[in-house]
């Protein structure tokens, strides 16, 4: 039996599933089985009424043995799937809801032409200027029930349909810009304009490529140390790159004299008493700063990765996951180009920006859960 769409045609939220299952094939109603029951519960917990949503599927017929691969011709969509994708996209364009929630990998691929649901889950994408939020299919949650918390976080995020734009950044700074940024940061901290600074480093091989700082007050800054020519970096591969004295592929961003001034400025920042937070900083970033540059962080108050693990030990703790559940930023990490300095610097800054934002939210949860002292 064909599975029909349900819901108001002027709905603010569209739910896009993959294909009918056994119960849906019998009733002709989407999400009428166990996965649908769980979906409705998770939506309700997140403040969304299933009845208020327009609900559709990529395919409206059940594939044999519930194997969606049946609709593919090798790795490409078969004729029926291709036709259904076109029809689905036209439908989304006609309704133009406030937000589209794609449920599962096939819905994500049909709407946004993106693969890897685990890479994009919980982060904002766009379909013809309509915000799209991918999340796991409820059938997957039935098999991996701990994921229901994550999906409910995604649904809560979808209610606002707010996509936060990246901030303006200082990239490729001069020595004067670095020193000025540090001077202003220390001055503003002294007059209590902000509470803490987040930092993040990017590496190549065993060397620090760049470090980013943000305090939520000034424009965040990325301070490079190693500069690459894209073609050279592509040739040697990031695992074998050495410094300029050992390889022609990598060059220092600073002169020897200027690098000393930059490192002195960073150490002044770390010595100022400003609270510092980082992601995986206890086990990686801070020791590498100490080993390579001799930099020591005086007030290292939080590693967001470990703090999050204290709260939710069963959930992922990488920064991309924290960004997806605790911020409204779009996915900025999946398509980054490591062979391009500018792309790497932007990525570095965004990691610091996200770390700062999630640090405050994690701190709040630690206090509310009485885990602050345990952490």
DSSP state of 165: P
Tell me the two tokens of residue 120: 């994009």
pLDDT tens series, the chain, 375 aa: 688 899 999 999 999 999 888 888 788 888 988 999 999 999 999 999 999 999 999 988 888 888 888 888 888 888 899 999 999 999 999 999 999 999 999 999 999 999 889 999 999 999 999 999 999 999 999 999 889 999 999 999 998 877 889 999 999 999 999 999 999 999 999 888 788 999 999 998 889 999 999 999 999 999 999 987 654 444 444 333 334 333 345 689 999 999 999 999 999 999 999 999 999 999 999 999 999 999 999 999 999 999 999 999 888 999 999 999 999 998 888 877 777 899 999 999 999 999 999 999 999 999 998 877 766
Domains, the chain, with CATH or none: 13-160 (3.40.470.10), 175-368 (3.30.420.10)
pLDDT for the residue 237: 43
pTM, two decimals, is: 0.82
For residue 336, give every residue at least 6 positions away whose Cβ sits within 8 Å of its Cβ, in sequence order, or none. 343, 344, 346, 347
Specify which residues 211 forms β-bridges with.
Answer: 201, 223
């Amino acid at each position: 039996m064909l599975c029909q769409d349900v819901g108001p045609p002027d709905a603010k939220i569209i739910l896009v599933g993959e294909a009918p299952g056994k119960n849906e094939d019998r009733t002709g109603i989407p999400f009428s089985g166990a996965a649908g029951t769980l979906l409705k519960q998770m939506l309700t917990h997140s403040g969304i009424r299933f009845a208020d949503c327009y609900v559709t599927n990529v395919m409206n017929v059940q594939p044999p043995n519930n194997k969606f691969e049946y609709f593919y011709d090798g790795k490409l969509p078969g004729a029926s799937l291709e036709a259904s994708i076109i029809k689905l996209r036209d439908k989304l364009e006609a309704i133009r809801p406030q937000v589209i929630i794609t449920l599962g990998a096939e819905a994500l691929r049909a709407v946004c032409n993106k693969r890897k649901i685990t890479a994009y889950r919980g982060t904002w994408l766009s379909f013809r200027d309509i915000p799209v939020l991918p999340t796991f299919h409820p059938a997957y949650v039935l098999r991996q029930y701990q994921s229901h918390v994550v999906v409910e976080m995604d649904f809560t995020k979808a209610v606002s349909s707010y996509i936060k734009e990246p901030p303006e950044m200082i990239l490729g700074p001069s020595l004067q810009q670095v020193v000025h940024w540090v001077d202003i940061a220390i001055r503003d901290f002294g007059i209590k304009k902000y509470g803490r600074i987040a930092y993040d480093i990017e590496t190549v091989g065993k060397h620090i490529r760049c470090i980013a700082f943000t305090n939520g007050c000034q424009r965040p800054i990325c301070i490079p140390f190693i500069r690459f020519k894209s073609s050279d970096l592509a040739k040697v591969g990031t695992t074998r790159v050495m410094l300029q004295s050992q390889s022609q592929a990598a060059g220092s961003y600073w002169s020897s004299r200027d690098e000393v001034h930059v490192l002195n400025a960073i150490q002044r920042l770390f010595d100022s008493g400003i609270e510092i937070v980082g992601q995986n900083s206890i086990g990686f970033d801070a020791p590498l700063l100490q080993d390579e540059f001799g930099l020591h962080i005086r007030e290292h108050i939080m590693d967001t990765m470990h703090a999050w693990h204290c709260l939710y030990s069963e959930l992922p703790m990488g920064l991309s996951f924290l960004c997806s559940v605790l911020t409204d930023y779009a996915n900025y990490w999946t398509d980054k180009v490591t062979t391009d300095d500018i792309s790497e610097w932007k990525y570095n800054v965004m990691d610091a920006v996200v770390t700062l934002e999630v640090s405050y939210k994690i701190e709040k949860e630690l206090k509310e859960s009485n885990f602050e002292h345990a952490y």
